[in-house]
Amino acid sequence: MLQRILARFCALPGANQSYLVSRHDGLVAAVGKRNRVPDLELANKLILALSNIEAATGVSDGLELWFEGDDHLLLSRIDEDEYVVISGKGKRIARWRHAIENDLEMLHAIS
């Protein structure tokens, strides 16, 4: 079921890869173009940066981080330990975010 959800994320306009990362277990699942490995090093750095921002500012949990440029990336926290990452070239991050929100309950149920 998790692979199906990630495949739907990957089918979004401009998205070419989606994966679920656990802060403790690393890569949980991934769907994307053949012969393309998820950039776990970048995902882990972003998760750490988000945690550092939370600690430095004293605000509550950071829920999302996204980048727009030549490549686009959305990192979205789905629970205390797990994050969904969608990457690609399109300028549709809002659509990617909406898709994650629509499947959040299902992601909680299976992760």
Work out the average pLDDT over 92-102.
93
Work out the average pLDDT over 70-97.
91
Contact 74, 93 (CB under 8 A): yes
Q: Which of the pair, 111 or 39, is modelled with greater confidence?
A: 39
The span from the CA of 92 to the CA of 41, in Å, is 24
Number of domains within the chain: 1
Please report the pLDDT score of residue 91 as a whole number: 77
Task: Please write the tens of the pLDDT for every residue from 3-62.
Answer: 999 999 999 999 999 999 998 889 999 999 888 889 899 999 999 888 888 888 877 777
Residues in the chain: 111
Which strands form 82-88's sheet, in the order they lie side by side? 26-32, 15-22, 82-88, 72-77, 64-67
Please report the pLDDT score of residue 67 as a whole number: 85
Q: Could you list the residue range(s) of the whole structural domain that residue 68 is in?
A: 2-110
Please report the pLDDT score of residue 69 as a whole number: 83
Please report the pLDDT score of residue 8 as a whole number: 96
- pTM of this prediction exceeds 0.85: yes
The span from the CA of 27 to the CA of 40, in Å, is 7
Work out the average pLDDT over 94-108.
93
Question: Looking at residue 18, which CATH number applies to its domain?
Answer: 3.30.450.30
